[in-house]
Amino acid sequence: MRILDATLTTTVPGDSPPPAGTRALALLLRVEAQPRDRDIKAPYGNLGITYPSLNADKDARIGGVMDGATPYMTEDQMLFGEGVQGVNPMFGVLEANTVYYQLAWQIVSEKADLTGASLCRAELNGDNCIPIGPIKTSP
């Protein structure tokens, strides 16, 4: 899994706008099988974005886990497949030698300190995290 883009936004696909005083931190993810020559079960894990002010920001609206995600889609499906269902993130299979994309988001406070934010998958042996990098803000 690789993060291609991170944007603070007030709009997310198919959902109502984030609650007042919050925004959605939306990530465009690139996912493919490792090794590439075999099918894999679509990754569905306990993902969450961690950042310095997360514990102070947590409340009924902000929990520290992803709040939503689109199905996995190929590049063609993302660009030209309006109405395409894509691969179900919970039960689907990603085909071998195919790159998939997914938009996932988490609600954060408008005042969140996102310095050094990371996307983490909670695992039994500790968190496995990917640094998010630069975060854009949509108007």
Token pair in block for residue 69: 């995600």
Report the pLDDT averaged over residues 96-116: 94
pLDDT-derived band at 89, boundaries 50, 70, 90: confident
* pLDDT reported for residue 126: 56
Q: Which pTM does this prediction carry?
A: 0.89
pLDDT-derived band at 27, boundaries 50, 70, 90: very high
